[in-house]
């Protein structure tokens, strides 16, 4: 009788197993369809924001290649190629002019055009130009800087050749897969150096900014970013002016505020008010410079992504990546490199001078302590590119004067971009 009961149960168990398998298959197929449908109905766009790109005298001297009789900055950015090239749009603050010879550093900067070439080669797409050094070489310096950037197909905003040019190009629209993100750029001042007609520099002015933001909001943007040069130099926290304008930006409906000028890192904040996401980086610090004192010898990059599903677009990634400027001697000459210093490869064995490792470690430890304590909902990200990339190569400049580069020969990045 027991044997009969066991035999009797077997078909039932088999049927139950079959039913379970069928149910699991249905659920699995449903999930696949759901994920497939979500991927079709959602789009994503990614950004990388970088701080102050400086050009002090020692940097200019280190870029000179005696054997080639030309300047070259490629080694400065090489360690970051995978990170910069893995995003859709990489944006930095060009805090020098490209005004031609004589090339000089502080206090009135003019860097060789090869600096911009190296920025392009590294994967940078946009350089904002409104900062306190915009007028270092007066009107001619502003115009020539824009000419060089245009010749390299580097997008820009913040300074303009004339008012008409500003009307047409003040709002820089960066788009991918139907997502449109606007970018505006302003500076608190220009070190007391005035500009005159016809050129124009965007200054921090509430009336002007409000008008620009209202105009931008009428362009059917998904998000609006303001890159602003503000604050006190070498201060770890924002001042009252920064906080005031930050609230002003939020009230106007700006989505992202990226700060520069203090040359040190200041806190980053993310908040949500009435379903409106708002993110502020008060200062990204130095991206590259010759400033070697603690806190000034590096900065942070902000990696940011937006994901759009239907009519809804939200921040899908928000993280910082510390970078430290390694200045070292090789072949009786100084060199500069920007290191994503959280990578394990940059350990004590990497550095020929052990003091450099300690300086980098001090910077990284201080940066983490500062931001982990004072940031709101923005954490450190992995110091690597998010996707595989194919290295790019662009023409190196041949002479110090302004080159008429053949843009058709430039090897563009893998991503299709268009500016509206």
- Could you tell me the pLDDT band of residue 387, with boundaries at 50, 70 and 90? low
More confident residue, 22 or 380: 380
Count of residues making up the chain? 420
Global confidence as pTM: 0.85
Q: Which residues pair with 318 in a beta bridge?
A: 304
Q: Is residue 19 part of a domain?
A: no
Q: Is residue 320 part of a domain?
A: yes
Q: Is residue 85 part of a domain?
A: yes
pLDDT at 403: 41
Indicate the number of domains in the chain: 1
Q: Is residue 311 part of a domain?
A: yes
Q: Is residue 20 part of a domain?
A: no
Say if CB 257 and CB 281 are below 8 A apart: yes
pLDDT of 11 strictly over 70 = no
Q: Write the pLDDT tens digit of every residue in 280-322.
A: 999 999 999 999 999 999 999 999 999 999 889 999 999 999 9
Task: Write out the E strands in 158-252.
Answer: 159-160, 172-176, 179-187, 200-201, 223-229
Q: Write the pLDDT tens digit of every residue in 24-39.
A: 556 555 554 444 444 4
Q: Write the pLDDT tens digit of every residue in 123-155.
A: 999 999 999 999 999 999 999 999 999 999 999
Domain that holds residue 253: 45-419
Say if CB 185 and CB 202 are below 8 A apart: yes
pLDDT at 18: 56
Q: Which of 129, 128, 135 is nearest to 107 (CA)?
A: 135
Query: Distance (Å, rounded) from C-alpha 254 to C-alpha 313?
Result: 14
Distance of CA 305 to the CA centre of its chain: 11
Q: Is residue 23 part of a domain?
A: no
The dihedrals phi and psi of 233, each to the nearest 5 degrees, come to -65, 140
Q: Which residues pair with 19 in a beta bridge?
A: none
Q: Which of 168, 226, 161 is nearest to 200 (CA)?
A: 161
Mean of the per-residue pLDDT values for the chain? Answer: 88
Q: Is residue 6 part of a domain?
A: no
Query: Distance (Å, rounded) from C-alpha 356 to C-alpha 336?
Result: 12
Q: Which of 314, 292, 315, 293 is nearest to 304 (CA)?
A: 315
Q: Is residue 259 part of a domain?
A: yes
Please report, rounded to a whole number, the percentage of residues in the chain having pLDDT higher than 90.
80
Provide CB contacts within 8 A for 66, sequence distance 6+: none
- Tokens linked to 163: 């008012």
pLDDT at 42: 77
Q: Which CATH number goes with the domain that contains 237?
A: 3.60.21.10
């Amino acid at each position: 009788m027991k044997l009969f009961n066991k035999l009797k149960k077997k078909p039932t168990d088999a049927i139950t197993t079959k039913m379970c398998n069928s149910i699991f298959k249905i659920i699995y197929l449903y999930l696949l369809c759901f994920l497939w449908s979500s991927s079709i109905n959602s789009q994503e766009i990614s950004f990388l924001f970088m701080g102050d790109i400086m050009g002090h005298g020692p940097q200019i001297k280190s870029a000179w290649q005696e054997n080639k009789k030309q300047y070259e900055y490629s080694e400065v950015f090489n360690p970051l190629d995978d990170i910069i090239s893995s995003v859709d749009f990489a944006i930095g603050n060009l805090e020098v002019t490209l005004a031609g010879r004589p090339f000089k550093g502080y206090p009135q900067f003019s860097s060789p055009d090869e600096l911009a070439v190296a920025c392009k080669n590294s994967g940078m797409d946009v350089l904002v130009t409104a900062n306190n050094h915009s007028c270092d070489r007066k009107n001619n310096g502003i115009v020539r800087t824009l000419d060089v950037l245009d010749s390299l197909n580097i997008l820009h905003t913040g300074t303009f050749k004339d008012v008409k040019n500003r009307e047409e190009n003040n709002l820089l629209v960066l788009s991918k897969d139907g997502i449109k993100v606007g970018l505006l750029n302003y500076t608190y001042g220009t070190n007391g150096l005035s500009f005159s007609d016809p050129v124009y520099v965007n200054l921090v002015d509430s009336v002007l900014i409000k008008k620009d933001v209202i105009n931008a909001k009428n362009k059917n943007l998904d998000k609006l970013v303001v890159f602003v040069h503000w604050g006190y130099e070498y201060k770890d926290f924002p001042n009252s002016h920064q906080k005031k304008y930050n609230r002003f930006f939020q009230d106007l409906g700006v989505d992202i505020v990226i700060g520069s000028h203090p040359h040190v890192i200041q806190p980053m904040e993310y908040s949500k008010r009435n379903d409106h996401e708002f993110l502020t980086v008060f200062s990204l610090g130095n991206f590259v410079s010759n400033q070697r004192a603690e806190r000034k010898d590096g900065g942070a990059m902000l990696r940011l992504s937006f994901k759009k599903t239907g009519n809804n677009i939200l921040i899908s990634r928000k993280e910082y990546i510390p970078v430290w400027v390694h200045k070292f001697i090789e072949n009786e000459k100084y060199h500069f490199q920007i290191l994503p210093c959280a990578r394990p490869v940059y350990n004590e064995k990497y550095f020929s001078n052990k003091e450099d490792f300690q300086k980098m470690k001090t910077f990284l430890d201080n940066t983490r302590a500062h931001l982990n304590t004072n940031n709101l909902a923005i954490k450190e990200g992995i110091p690597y590119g998010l996707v595989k990339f194919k290295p790019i190569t662009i023409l190196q400049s041949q002479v110090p004067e302004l080159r008429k580069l053949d843009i058709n020969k430039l090897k563009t990045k893998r991503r299709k971009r268009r500016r509206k």
